[in-house]
Structure 1
């Protein structure tokens, strides 16, 4: 065979092999791949070849994505036809995402989106997302009483939950709930016996009562940058990682006092010795308590400081220690028998010059008994000012000595 002809065949063979390998993929694999595409793109694959004509109907993912500027009338027609055509074929992932278009939603549109959300449940979806991003108003989500033995993860963003009782107990496989920029002011209780991971960020709670969170199987908790009344955390015996961050000054702040003893402190029952936050967090192994404003809820909880029987790492910010006359440090150190690492973050807002001091605890007979396992103590700050000096002085009473590390601090 002439060299030129052999060369042409050598270049063509890889393309033939590539085509053969794609054709060899089973339908299930192709349907899984299509599930990662936006629904419109997945439907467009029907023109590729005869084999692709119906594959999109059984894609394992259904992603309805509408961006600002998209035609809502076209979207309604497309999604209604899409759901009617595919029926209730099983779904792994269902996502409804609307970016910046809530101001053009009519009442019928809201009802339709609620029905689309329900349809995904009928398709035995495992991961379900309803996301409204960059909206002026939150979307009204009606009847969030979900019933599914398949649902494992739920994510909500930009949604107003109308129910007073967010009961997820009829979803026995549900393990993860993510709630971001949502209105939970109507919700009096969040209940799930199966939930393992809960994240609530930038949400509104009620101004007139406290939401109770009953999730006894929870392993991971993030409660970050919320507004108004701090929720009551009920028993979480399996908790491993927890982070609480309070940013807004309106959280649990009546403006008249910082003790929580006045009648304006909604949801507080006088004589009730139960903590709002700390009792539910008492079984955590890793705990971060971060606050950027002074709220009376801290002092109230510390009056009944529980024993942190499993706590190994603890991070405290400015208002959890200095702003509380150091009560938090003393209380938690005495009640954390297994603590191994303690970190303080005492930064000023806007400061980019940071330093770190590092030390350890050496038990001696004369000092107040704290965890003999405490090996690492860190103080991160801008400069050693009055508030930092108070912390260092208190730590010295526990026989904790610190030395300066390199500056600026490298995270």
Structure 2
């Protein structure tokens, strides 16, 4: 091997190019990245370098996050000073999250303080506003807070007592998405948003004595899941594409005038609606109706079942398929003239299914007036029993073929 020449240095590995350093990113990009950090960590970036000293003040997100280990008094002082220092630089997101906080940690002035923090975010033209109080041992009220914003697009609420005036968001013309989880909505009489496109209400409690009304004519997607007491009345939603309703076993909804649960009461529904849920859902393209037990709502609505003129995909749960003496299947099929796909889940929620049977509509024989577009029918069940057989037999009366043979083959296999 040739000798290395004296005095010649071995080349070192090239140092990482400065062009790949985070410091080469524009201020706007860094401010956006800092906006994903909790507020305390965002402020700490000021010690990284001279350039980073003030970047946190213009971060596009402000996330105030606290848990049961934090000192609430210290948090108050920190946030007050934080908002005073950063001024009214524009915000994309303002998030206030308290996890597992005890009622003993709060004082009477904290409700007012939180309201002032929210007003500060509104002054910063915030687009996404989040108030999340999870696993706290007390209901936190946002009182005397009326949102007025031309910039607010998304609002998320969790673990709050929501006052009626807070739900009046007519002064937020750009609001498109609203998510409410595990909140007390007993004081809500009307949830009205002209511009809203996406609405999610889960695990909330409505009033037992009066039904709230949901007025959202521009709504594209709706999810009502696991709410308690009086189901809200859905007004017309002509733009609705996806609708999903799940009524849980401990729902406890009855007629507010006579406590009837059989759907026979002729009580007038607020807003001149003929149905509580189905009329508002009648123009949806994709629909899932899930009930885990006997419910007043679907029994009453099926007595005046509307026509689902745009419905292409429908999912019905175990109770709606069987417990209503198969009336729900018959009624909805006859009122869905363009239905293309039907799925029946004949198992309790959470247990899953072990069998899947498929069939399709056959126009060979004259049948009752159901959609001639029905291409796919799926029946999912855990075991093949008498109630499953009844459903399959009913479907065969509508000339939906191959289900019985398919079921027998599966039954013999198991």
Per the normalisation by structure 1, the TM-score is 0.92
Confirm or deny: 8 A CA contact 1:102 1:139 kept in the other structure.
no
- Taking a change above 3 Å as real, the CA distance of residues 156 and 256 of structure 1, as seen in their structure-2 partners, is closer
Q: Distance in 2 between matches of 1:11 and 1:407?
A: 66
Q: Which residue of 2 aligns with 1:7?
A: 11
1:18 matched to 2:20? The reply is yes
Alignment of 1:136-175 (within 5 A): 136-163=137-164, 166-175=167-176
Per the normalisation by structure 2, the TM-score is 0.91
- Taking a change above 3 Å as real, the CA distance of residues 349 and 334 of structure 1, as seen in their structure-2 partners, is closer
Q: Which residue of 2 aligns with 1:242?
A: 243
Q: How many residues align?
A: 400
Q: Which residue of 1 aligns with 2:71?
A: 71
Q: Which residue of 2 aligns with 1:258?
A: 261
Confirm or deny: 8 A CA contact 1:39 1:64 kept in the other structure.
yes
Q: Which residue of 2 aligns with 1:53?
A: 53
1:301 matched to 2:301? The reply is yes
Deviates more, 1:173-182 or 1:248-257: 248-257
- Taking a change above 3 Å as real, the CA distance of residues 256 and 170 of structure 1, as seen in their structure-2 partners, is closer
1:209 matched to 2:231? The reply is no
- Offset of residue 208 of structure 1: 0.4
Q: Deviations over 1:217-276 (max 9, x none)?
A: 00000000000001000000000001000113333146964323459xxx7559x76110
Confirm or deny: 8 A CA contact 1:249 1:294 kept in the other structure.
no
Residue ranges of structure 2 left out of the alignment (5+ in a row): none
Q: Which residue of 2 aligns with 1:320?
A: 320
Residue ranges of structure 1 left out of the alignment (5+ in a row): none
Describe the SS at the equivalent of 1:110.
Answer: helix
* RMSD over aligned Cα atoms: 2.3
Confirm or deny: 8 A CA contact 2:360 2:377 kept in the other structure.
yes
Q: Distance in 1 between matches of 2:167 and 2:383?
A: 46
Q: Distance in 2 between matches of 1:2 and 1:325?
A: 98
Q: Distance in 1 between matches of 2:167 and 2:244?
A: 22
Q: Distance in 1 between matches of 2:96 and 2:233?
A: 31
Describe the SS at the equivalent of 1:227.
Answer: coil
Q: Deviations over 1:94-129 (max 9, x none)?
A: 100000104222111222112112211111000110
Q: Distance in 2 between matches of 1:26 and 1:123?
A: 22
Confirm or deny: 8 A CA contact 2:365 2:399 kept in the other structure.
no
Q: Distance in 2 between matches of 1:135 and 1:3?
A: 71
- Offset of residue 349 of structure 1: 6.0
- Offset of residue 137 of structure 1: 2.1
